[in-house]
Amino acid sequence: MAASTSDEQAIQALPKLLAAQQAAFRAEGPVSVATRKDRLQRVIDMLVKHCDPFCAAMEADFGGRSPVFSMMNDVAGSLGSLKHARDHLETWAQDQSRPSVAPFDNFGATAWVKYQPKGVVGIIGTWNAPLFTLLSPLSSVFAAGNRAVLKPSEIAPRTAALLQETVAEFFKPEELTVVLGGPAVAAEFSKQAWNHLVFTGATSVGKLIMKAASDNLVPVTLELGGKSPVIIGTGADIANAAERIAVGKSANSGQLCVSPDVVWVHDSQAEALLSAIQSVYSGLFPSTANNPDVTPIVNDRHFQRVESYVKDASVKGARVVVAGDENAADRRLPLRMVVNPHSDSEISQFEIFGPALVVRTYQSLQQAVADINAGERPLALYYFGTDSAEQAWVLDHTLSGGVSINDVVMHPALHDAPFGGVGASGMGHYHGHEGFLEFSHARSVYSAGGHDPRREWGMLPPYSEQFAQMIRGAITP
């Protein structure tokens, strides 16, 4: 698809924007803690001032997403990351003393690690959380002392345009700016010589982003996704698990990267779980059509994609259990639970990213875990149960970006713990101290002492036999 005139203009402007920020970064020199806090505070002030217009823009972009959800997920979620970084970066930014080299430490040699900003960071966000996927990583980027260019998703155009307008109100373009445009702009964005690049989105696109970044050896942070599993132990409280799953899966109608995708439950408990989810979901959403609390699928293309997954599974023999009112309209859908779909069905192979859920039964928890491990490593894993030994076994025998126990979609809300994926679900992380480290260069520094004993100890050429024996004596297991 050919780029539009506006996209072409954005593409042409990208190198100039990056060059201007890099020049400003070099001219600034060391970035003080006060400057970093000021930048974080201005983002906070921007969100507080414009929170209602932002929620209205997201409501319009989705065709009816609840402003309450947008306020909670995108505005409050971003503010949590920004405030945590603001309140802790002074400690994070301090030099860290490290042991020096023996025996020179006895003569005053010291060592430390200095954390310095990398420079200019490009951040590509996504449509499902159009503020959070930009501003939450920005909190770590600014805390580390960097400057940034944001690329919002074109699928949420009103939110993107408002973000560009409000960022310009609070920042000079040399500090922070927003670039608008479609896939052609995103592709060109990923080719620039950033000092670090952040991308949130599909795994397939993440591979293209990483490939493009490799031409300039740009380090990347990729927050992707995957088929995040729920494991329900035989001792789990089924009513509690059903409520947590229904609540978590309904958030943004499943259009979240950490939304539960596949629930594994013992065969003897499957019907009880299905029935309980139906009951909870119907209580949350007694109607579907025109219900302002039900988030619509973002556009027709994604609506048809989710519908095709469910239909394909049904045609291939899977049982579909509906939770909620089936009177769907305006891209709002009830939750469909697809029970034991065939392995070659679309819903078994692709991340759902919508109001549908695969439910698989198991006879052996070990086999369920083996089946999970046979697939790609997910962004999230969820475990329900009361057996501490079983919980430890599940954690020890699985690998995912993060974990919530006896709940779903909650660990990304941990502001002081890293958020990110592993393998196909991503690499790198933001949030908390680990996010600060992600966007900092950890620079080792060695400072020599006042006296160098090497010559008098015979440690310099020409090497003596005595020194050779001393070195050989240091070679120990």
Name 100's Cβ contacts closer than 8 Å, sequence gap at least 6.
109, 110, 111, 446
Strands (E), 155-255: 176-178, 196-200, 220-223, 229-232
> Which of 200, 201, 272 has the alpha carbon at shortest distance from 243?
272
Q: Is 51 a catalytic residue?
A: no
Contact between 355 and 303 under an 8 Å Cβ cutoff? The reply is no
Peptide bond just before 103 cis, omega within 30 deg: yes
Q: Tokens for 336, please give them.
A: 């469909």
Quick one: CA torsion of 99, 100, 104, 105, rounded to 10 degrees? -40
Radius of gyration of the chain (CA): 26
CB-hemisphere CA count at 13 Å for 306?
A: 25
Q: In a 10 Å sphere around its CB, with 0-12 CB exposed, 13-18 middle and 19+ buried, how is residue 316 labelled?
A: middle
| Strands of 335-339's sheet in order across | 319-323, 335-339, 356-362, 262-266, 229-232, 380-384, 402-405
Contact between 74 and 403 under an 8 Å Cβ cutoff? The reply is no
How far the first Cα of the chain sits from its last, in Å, is 62
How many other CB atoms sit within 10 Å of the CB of residue 19?
A: 13
Amino acid (1-letter code) at residue 103: P
Rounded-to-integer distance, Cα 176 and Cα 18, Å: 10
Residue in 51, 175, 243, 257 annotated catalytic? 257
Tokens 């490290």 map to which residue? 98
Amino acid (1-letter code) at residue 471: I
CA distance readout (Å), 391 to 248, 342, 379, 383: 20, 28, 18, 7
CA angle 420/423/424 to nearest 5° reads 90
DSSP code of residue 377: P
Rounded-to-integer distance, Cα 359 and Cα 188, Å: 40
Residue in 223, 243, 376, 438 annotated catalytic? 223
Q: Is 257 a catalytic residue?
A: yes
Known catalytic residues are 223, 257
